[in-house]
Amino acid sequence: MKITALGSADSFCSAGRGHTCWLIDDDLGACAVDFGATALAALKRLGRDPSQLQAVHFTHLHGDHIGGWPFLLVDAVYRLRRTAPLVVTGPPGTRDRLHALWAACFERAAARPLPFALEVRELLPGDAALVCGRSIRAFAAQHMTPPDVALSLRLGEVAFTGDTGRIAAGLCDGARALFAECTEMEAGLRPEASTHRHLNWETLRAALPPVPLIVLAHLGAEARSGIPRDAGVQVCDDLDVFEL
């Protein structure tokens, strides 16, 4: 398995880096976890064909994680003439939000049926599914205000925190790798764990799980430069590649 960081920054594109997107390549093909606004451009910088994506797994519905969706679709419809099916997973509301985003960006295109099958599966924390041959489990992430839901995801032996203030119980059990967000260096003005909506290095360092590979992304400018290089984690940049 090979995992490429198509974007490693926070919602502000700190230090000129891209929005969140993880590209996963394995024996089953290719999929992505999140697809931020800069993800399609990153794919093309790598010379990758977006039609190779079999699935996109969204952790939550904030723009820096879903903003690339209408551009993935418009490329599929008008340039690639895609016919291969595409599967999407995400929290409740994913189907309507993605269509609204598509319609807001390309109204006439969104009024017509897609030329390929699009399956959207909405997951709640605790749900499990088999998608394109890959097992996926959803965990509750501490990020959204109810009734909105954010997810951490487990794809096989690889864990993705998504945006969250804490690592969900069970997410890393038996994992070979953890791809975690780490936006800030310190907890900030509200140190109570229940108020955190993003992991910070101060909190994360005290609770690093026993996982062989831990990669940090969704980085603000201070976190990108401030996390010690001997901290037992890898601080990633755009287009960094990790092989398992």
Report the CATH number at residue 233: 3.60.15.10
Backbone angles phi, psi at 202, to 5 degrees: -60, -45
**Dist. CA 69–CA 98, nearest whole Å:** 7
Tell whether omega for the bond before 210 is within 30 degrees of 0, i.e. cis. no
Q: Mark out the alpha helices in 135-227 (DSSP H runs).
A: 201-205, 221-226
Count the domains in the chain.
1
State the pLDDT at residue 134: 97
| E strand or H helix that includes residue 105 | helix 94-105
**Dist. CA 161–CA 172, nearest whole Å:** 9
Structural domain including 35 reads: 2-243
* Distance (Å) of CA 210 to CA 174, 181, 201, 213, 232: 9, 17, 16, 9, 11
State the pLDDT at residue 194: 53
State the pLDDT at residue 29: 97
> What is the identity of the amino acid at 61?
L
Across the 244 residues of the chain, what is the mean pLDDT of every consecutive 10-residue run?
97 95 98 98 97 98 98 97 98 98 98 97 98 98 96 98 96 98 79 72 92 96 87 94 96
